[in-house]
């Protein structure tokens, strides 16, 4: 048994987002709904989850057309997120940051259900037996295996071919970083788990808030973000500069030192080589780490996202590594908006609001505004 999408049209009363969508997902298998941001993945996922009605067409789960069932029966057959799954569910829909691909694949087999996970980043753990629903900017949904769609995936994400790097080379690249960036002996939680777990992230923010002697959690959130982002850029750009490899950042583990500083480590390094790392850096580091980290911190502490993009941009240009690649990364819209023509950030990192803090060399604070406790850009 499986899930069928039959000539499905999704969108809103005043706008069609996707039309003529026909695809299937089998029980016991993992299907990755893959596509760049803004192409309609979330709209399709919400329609499958019955959070908004289809404009036309049908969704069939194990022989039953969802539009012919009552709300209770539909919610029993289709689950949004693993936590909402009932015993009789035949389809599980998951946002790309909710669970690791390997765990979802195991869940599909153990529960004999169809799992569809939406992702804006081509997961490195895709296997030949998985199904891909590839949604391009042309609004067409193409289906197949990772192998049969490899060329289209590369074209859709403008990826130069990436190849697995020798693990000893990746380990050497990480070891070449100073211990401020990477300590191979450091333990902790996998970075993706930090973004997904509100409790883990809240405990880290509370620890840093205590170190900074602040009650404003957004100040601690910005500090922990700046420390983590600086280390991610150094690990990535440093690996490319010294050994020609991009470390797999998903394998890094996050912890805080006794003094509340960010520490990264891994006992299982891996990574890639590529002739042009820009697209791989964009999808892996920016889309795969910065965006989910920003979303989690903004939800937890209400820190403004422009402050976080300012942190990321400031940390990027501060790295004396791979200057040509940094110059190209600066052209990405979020970084371009975060930096002035002089390379200085437009938003404040909020460090001055801590009793132990101050202002940085690229701080946009003007004159006495810092002592007045007010940033001209952030309030």
Q: Which domains does the chain have, with CATH numbers?
A: 2-156 (3.40.50.300), 162-369 (no CATH)
Query: What is the pLDDT averaged over residues 109-121?
Result: 88
Distance CA 272, CA 164 (A): 5
Query: What is the pLDDT averaged over residues 152-170?
Result: 85
Distance CA 194, CA 292 (A): 10
pLDDT digits (tens, 9 = 90+) for 7-31: 999 998 888 999 999 999 999 999 9
Please tell me the predicted confidence (pLDDT) of residue 106: 82
Q: How confident is the model at residue 88 (pLDDT cuts 50, 70, 90)?
A: confident
Model-level pTM greater than 0.75?
no
Query: What is the pLDDT averaged over residues 75-88?
Result: 76
Tokens of 264: 């990264």
Altogether, the residues listed in the chain come to a count of: 379
The CA distances from residue 25 to 18, 28, 33, 111, in Å, are: 18, 9, 10, 15
Please tell me the predicted confidence (pLDDT) of residue 155: 82
Q: Are 242 and 234 in contact (CB under 8 A)?
A: no
Distance CA 7, CA 21 (A): 5
């Amino acid at each position: 048994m499986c899930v069928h999408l039959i000539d499905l049209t999704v969108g809103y009363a005043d706008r069609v987002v996707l039309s003529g969508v026909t695809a299937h997902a089998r029980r016991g298998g993992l299907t990755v709904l893959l596509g760049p941001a803004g192409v309609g993945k979330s709209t399709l996922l919400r329609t499958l989850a019955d959070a908004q009605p289809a404009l036309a067409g049908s969704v069939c789960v194990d022989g039953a057309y969802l539009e012919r069932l009552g709300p209770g029966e539909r919610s029993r057959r289709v689950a949004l997120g693993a936590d909402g799954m009932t015993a009789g569910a035949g389809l599980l829909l998951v946002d790309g940051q909710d669970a690791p691909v390997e765990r979802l694949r195991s869940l599909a087999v153990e529960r004999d259900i169809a799992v569809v996970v939406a992702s804006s980043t081509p997961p490195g753990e895709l296997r030949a037996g998985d199904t891909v629903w590839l949604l391009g900017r042309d609004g067409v949904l193409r289906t197949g295996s990772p192998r049969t769609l490899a060329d289209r995936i590369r074209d859709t994400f403008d990826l130069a071919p990436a190849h697995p790097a020798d693990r000893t080379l990746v380990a050497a690249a990480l070891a070449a970083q100073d211990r401020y960036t990477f300590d191979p002996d450091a333990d902790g939680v996998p970075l993706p788990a930090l973004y997904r777990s509100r409790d883990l992230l809240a405990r880290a923010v509370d620890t840093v808030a205590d170190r900074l002697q602040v009650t404003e959690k957004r100040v601690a959130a910005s500090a922990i973000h700046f420390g983590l982002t600086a280390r991610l850029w150094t690990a990535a750009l440093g690996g490319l500069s010294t050994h020609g490899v991009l470390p797999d950042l998903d394998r890094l583990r996050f912890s805080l030192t006794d003094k509340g500083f960010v520490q990264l480590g891994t006992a299982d390094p891996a990574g890639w080589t590529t002739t042009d790392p820009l697209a791989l850096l964009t999808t892996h580091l920016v889309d795969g780490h910065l965006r989910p980290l920003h979303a989690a911190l903004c939800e937890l502490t209400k820190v403004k996202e422009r402050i976080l993009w300012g942190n990321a941009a400031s940390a990027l240009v501060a790295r004396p590594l791979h200057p040509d690649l940094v110059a190209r990364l600066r052209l990405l819209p979020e970084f371009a908006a975060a930096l002035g023509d002089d390379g200085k950030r437009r938003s404040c990192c909020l460090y001055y609001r801590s009793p132990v803090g101050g202002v940085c060399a690229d701080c946009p604070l003007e004159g006495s505004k810092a002592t007045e406790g007010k940033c001209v850009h952030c309030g």
